Amino acid sequence: MAKKTDKKDTKKSSESAAPQGAMPLFYSNPMPLDAKEHAKLALKENFGFGFTKGVNAVPINLIEMPQICHFYPIAFAPDGSATPVAILGLRDNENLFLNEDNSWEDAYIPAYIRRYPFIFSEMPDGDQLTLCVDNNSDILAKKGDQTFFDKDGKPSALSRNALEFCKSYHAAAQQTVEFSKALEKHKLLVDREAQINVAGNQRINFSGFKIIDEQKLAELDDKAFLDLRQKGWLPFIYAHLFSGAQWQRLSHMLTQKLGREAA
């Protein structure tokens, strides 16, 4: 399944699976869906969110920030692209929002996670995006009710909905790239380290991320600030700043987990 795009408007982003090189987070082997090859292939029901285990941060899109900020701290990855991320845990390889039964804590679930196992793949010619599904035996079955194609070889409702979701996600990812470029351009991002106290007087140093410096934002000249306002980016900047309150939420969640482990 493919979505045609105008080559002029297709920008590289972290949301699509590159045909070569490192795989995006969570994905091991995205394969293009094919009506003949995958006629009976199905998605396992209720496979849960176990694929997020061992991950303490996940990419997010610009339009999600007003929702994300109520549940997760928002930071920017030091990856050269300043990719915005939601912080899921305070320790390496730990997702505090993943329950033991692979369900999600009562919180907004980032779109990057909800999109899995689907993803767009850029074709070598650069002017077409193809809908792919991760070839993972934990989530795929050779038969089942949630098939990708119907008996006539047409995309099922599952595949059609996945295609629309990936279209929306791709468009949002392009907006996010431009937003991050603007933050870098105006030199608003600074390296930061969080020192967090949890149960038993343990101190955790969480580093390797960037945030928007409020002082630098306040000192922006009028032209630069007007540019951010005209592009409609100020609410998302403030959402990031407000999300700082969620570090305390993560501290509380980790304290509770440590208590359960010690019991």
Backbone angles phi, psi at 89, to 5 degrees: -160, 160
Across 28-40, average pLDDT? 93
Amino acid 127: pLDDT: 67
Mean pLDDT of 159-184: 96
Q: Which pLDDT score, from 0 to 100, does residue 5 have?
A: 37
* 189, 74 Cβ separation under 8 angstroms: no
pTM of this structure: 0.88
CA distance 256 to 252: 6
pLDDT-above-70 percentage for the chain: 89
Q: Give 215-251 pLDDT, tens digit per residue.
A: 999 999 999 999 999 999 999 999 999 999 999 999 9
Reported as a pLDDT band with limits 50, 70 and 90, residue 31 is very high
Whether 14 and 119 have beta carbons less than 8 Å apart is answered as no
Contacts of 27 (CB under 8 A, 6+ apart): 17, 116, 117, 119, 134
DSSP state of 7: G
Contact residues for 201 (Cβ-Cβ < 8 A; gap 6+): none
Q: How many CA atoms lie within 13 A of 185 on its CB side?
A: 10
d(CA 196, CA 72): 15
